[in-house]
Structure 1
């Protein structure tokens, strides 16, 4: 019996709800494995155009539920009217919804040409996820595989395939589950024997690999780390009148938490809301604190430099030695559009940044690890932690500990800080190095090289987190060769897209 149009869209909406619920919060990761089953039911036998519309609906619902916090950023800190904020939010969700829409359109075209969805859906979905990671500066926020960040035996394959291996596996499972249910409920439907065998084999290999990695204890010297969460309100952060209280807060928390000389102390992104390199009084106090505690101290602060007569502002991290000397600076490489700079500013003179305090930032030039006595630090500043290639470049350059300094105050008490953290887990596993994270308002945490989260601070509270990490060795397949698996999937997607055109052309030739 043919499904009504209204019922089809209700099934599509259910897929969107399942997809949103798969990610933090609430993080019902099990739903990811069947999130697309209602959508497959809605699009079963549908024309490609209809499948596009239904999948767009599912994607719109899913991303709207996942990214609702964008409105908090735009209304609270961007000072946009709610109507304007909502319009921009829906525009972003509509852009992201195009990816599942195009995927289902290509899958249905492929099925009409004889390509099974068991092949086409996981390949196309994964390939387009990869495209989303770099197109229009990239927005790989919560790719499908990130939903499993707590399932340690599954995520270990990220050191081979990145997060895309998990996305592929989940996408394949959705098709198999739908085909199994269809074979039970519909007379004459074929049981997906080969698809089920392929899924079970891949799952078994993934889990076996994961348990093999988890059974190997971490080795090597330990590095004591103290992560400091100052909880400085965003609305006063850049007010010069609060500089004294800001510095005093970080001094107090650091003295209370640092019990052992040589402990690596990490303060968050822009913990010092002034130009550290040009501020004599407060900068001297911070250097003196490192010398007093006999511990290296990493802190976020903007930087300024002149190049060819032009002034460049950078979002940076400074490393201070246990002797109180500044021994290195790391500059943010991947900037936040509309947060740290305005894309196409000359064409959009009416658009302003949402971050107050400084003019447009410029990106850093290269990934340069910062050297301490116990570790070589690759610093990921806020948003750039969601880009695997940035973490890879630091580890390839010699970093054996990744440090994510961030200010997630923008997100309020929403799901976004938890979603942000979930992606950091994969940076550690992909490169087999620990990742420590200091966030202004939380979530501050430490993650070992197998993705285990060792402590999480509460949101919007002053806190410190002490942890011990084992600097990693890197050298994983993913670190050396990057997104080979995702690129292969993208090539497979291109084949799936081109094959129906080829068969259509052959059909026309035969008719002639």
Structure 2
């Protein structure tokens, strides 16, 4: 009986490995990312999948299996999008799932090139898999206008030890290390099974390489966050008005919205803030149309005796032919509206504009957008004047903090800290808020700049230069407070290696993948190396 069971397992081991991969890989992948945040799951989520690939399944099987894993995982991760559109949520999950399939096919192809025996046979596929993962994540930043949501590095935001190296490499290096570690563990387990069957001991270089690399970026770079020299930066009053999305643009609620915003803002005066910050498009009218909103906001800033950074719609042009922008304005006490303002550069397709609108005019019936919002053209910094200095504020609106280049551009122009104005009311009480916060953590570490996130609801708080959350409000409640923002004086006026040189590590991954493809068949021999 035991012999028959053993024979059955031997005959069906590839199918069993495929089933295990289909269950454990998506389970661990989803668990590792916000809102679940089991960061240790990211160390092993690809181990079952890597073991299955070692059996040499067909490319068709790899594509279908990986697409199912990717699609199902992303349906869970972005399920909050169903509050806006069920069809869009399912389609977007499928598109991101295809990216996982492309990665899996590339790794399968690389593994087949390295089929054979030898101590070094798994080195090229492991390095290639890690490099290709980074390449695919980077491509997600641009394909279909870009959706780099939840890179694998976001799994580590709750314990940002590994993330400190992002100030040099960008957060891409953490994704690289995690995939490399997964394939190293898979290779080690495969060789343990080989040893149990053949009694031939062998070295597993891919495991030791992965372990060494992970330790290097995790602990050797801890010095980047040690010896901090913190100093007071400014006192920020943050307003989380918690306006329901179905009321936000309803004129019947305009007086209520404006009245509550005024009440909450003026209540902060007793706490002596240096500036107040509002969330994205908090006002029901544009702020710069020389109308009542502009005069009202100037009076409010004067009453607060502090400037207000306000997320609001902006307009340009003449009446009847206006261009609309999703903007951040600066309202100064006594002086009123600052002449320059920031406008969102990376807009949400089918949310803020219809791509190639002329090709499908019928889309207006499906997507309720009367007119397109236009993108801003640059990172317009805004001044925060303090008693002894002026801080330059780099603004990001909504999901712009998922794009590393936008935060990097603002800091290159001289931003002393980053301010993210957002509105998560579209997505209900869901994991979208914690997922969105995770990207702000990555941007803070990459740029070594404090990040202040102010939301209509969801997550409002501030993050220091090393990815630690220093203060936050209760989500999905009407609330306001003053945060004492501090900074590490060692980074004042300085740029990180990543800010200066950008995505150099991504381009290195292209070279690593090409080198792995070339070396894979050359690292294989017909004789197992033993000792």
Q: Report the TM-score when normalising by structure 1.
A: 0.90
| Pairing 1:289–2:305 present | no
What does residue 45 of structure 2 align with? 35
| Pairing 1:312–2:332 present | no
Q: CA deviation at 1:135?
A: 1.5
Residues 57-96 of structure 1: pairs in structure 2 closer than 5 A: 57-74=68-85, 85-86=86-87, 88-96=88-96
Task: Give the direction of change, closer, same or farther, for the CA distance of 1:358–1:238 in structure 2 (3 Å limit).
Answer: farther
CA contact (8 A) 2:17 2:48 kept: no
SS of structure 2 residue aligned to 1:169: helix
1:404 to 412, 417, 420: 420
- Looking at structure 1, the residues matched to 301 and 203 of structure 2 have their Cα atoms a distance apart, in angstroms, of 63
| Pairing 1:256–2:267 present | yes
| Pairing 1:386–2:402 present | yes
Deviates most, 174-183 or 344-353: 344-353
- Looking at structure 1, the residues matched to 110 and 341 of structure 2 have their Cα atoms a distance apart, in angstroms, of 51
What does residue 55 of structure 1 align with? 66
| Pairing 1:183–2:191 present | yes
1:344 to 327, 338, 356: 356
CA contact (8 A) 2:326 2:373 kept: yes
Name stretches of at least 5 consecutive residues in structure 2 with no aligned partner: 1-9, 115-122, 523-531
| Pairing 1:22–2:32 present | yes
Q: CA deviation at 1:283?
A: 2.8
- Looking at structure 2, the residues matched to 68 and 270 of structure 1 have their Cα atoms a distance apart, in angstroms, of 24
1:196 to 207, 231, 245: 207
What does residue 455 of structure 2 align with? 439
2:496 to 476, 479, 485: 476
Q: CA deviation at 1:319?
A: 0.4
CA contact (8 A) 2:128 2:517 kept: no
What does residue 13 of structure 2 align with? 3
Task: Give the direction of change, closer, same or farther, for the CA distance of 1:317–1:261 in structure 2 (3 Å limit).
Answer: same
- Looking at structure 1, the residues matched to 365 and 267 of structure 2 have their Cα atoms a distance apart, in angstroms, of 37
- Looking at structure 2, the residues matched to 440 and 355 of structure 1 have their Cα atoms a distance apart, in angstroms, of 23
Deviates most, 213-222 or 385-394: 213-222
Task: Give the direction of change, closer, same or farther, for the CA distance of 1:235–1:47 in structure 2 (3 Å limit).
Answer: same
Residues 334-373 of structure 1: pairs in structure 2 closer than 5 A: 334-352=346-364, 359-373=371-385
CA contact (8 A) 1:338 1:354 kept: no
Q: Per-residue displacement from partner, 1:279-332 (whole Å, max 9, x unpaired)?
A: 63333222112112211110111111129x963210001101233421131110
Q: CA deviation at 1:214?
A: 2.2
What does residue 505 of structure 2 align with? 485
Task: Give the direction of change, closer, same or farther, for the CA distance of 1:282–1:312 in structure 2 (3 Å limit).
Answer: closer
What does residue 78 of structure 1 align with? none
What RMSD over aligned residues (CA atoms) do the two structures have, in Å?
2.4
Task: Give the direction of change, closer, same or farther, for the CA distance of 1:346–1:474 in structure 2 (3 Å limit).
Answer: farther
SS of structure 2 residue aligned to 1:465: strand
SS of structure 1 residue aligned to 2:325: strand
Q: CA deviation at 1:178?
A: 1.0
Give the number of equivalent residue pairs. Answer: 490
CA contact (8 A) 2:54 2:111 kept: no
Name stretches of at least 5 consecutive residues in structure 1 with no aligned partner: 75-84, 504-512
2:134 to 98, 102, 126: 126
Task: Give the direction of change, closer, same or farther, for the CA distance of 1:192–1:265 in structure 2 (3 Å limit).
Answer: farther
2:473 to 450, 457, 469: 457
CA contact (8 A) 2:342 2:395 kept: yes
- Looking at structure 2, the residues matched to 194 and 4 of structure 1 have their Cα atoms a distance apart, in angstroms, of 24
Q: Per-residue displacement from partner, 1:366-396 (whole Å, max 9, x unpaired)?
A: 1111011142111100011110101111111
CA contact (8 A) 2:286 2:293 kept: no
What does residue 4 of structure 2 align with? none
SS of structure 1 residue aligned to 2:13: coil
SS of structure 2 residue aligned to 1:306: strand
2:148 to 126, 140, 151: 140
Q: CA deviation at 1:3?
A: 2.9
Task: Give the direction of change, closer, same or farther, for the CA distance of 1:474–1:467 in structure 2 (3 Å limit).
Answer: farther
CA contact (8 A) 1:72 1:411 kept: yes
Q: Per-residue displacement from partner, 1:312-361 (whole Å, max 9, x unpaired)?
A: 21000110123342113111010001110011212222223988686210
Deviates most, 402-411 or 33-42: 33-42
What does residue 81 of structure 1 align with? none
CA contact (8 A) 2:351 2:369 kept: no
Task: Give the direction of change, closer, same or farther, for the CA distance of 1:119–1:353 in structure 2 (3 Å limit).
Answer: farther
Greater C-alpha Rg: 2
Q: Report the TM-score when normalising by structure 2.
A: 0.87
Residues 165-314 of structure 1: pairs in structure 2 closer than 5 A: 165-186=173-194, 187-188=197-198, 193-261=204-272, 263-278=274-289, 280-306=291-317, 311-314=322-325
- Looking at structure 1, the residues matched to 370 and 378 of structure 2 have their Cα atoms a distance apart, in angstroms, of 22
What does residue 466 of structure 1 align with? 482
Deviates most, 391-400 or 55-64: 55-64
What does residue 528 of structure 2 align with? none
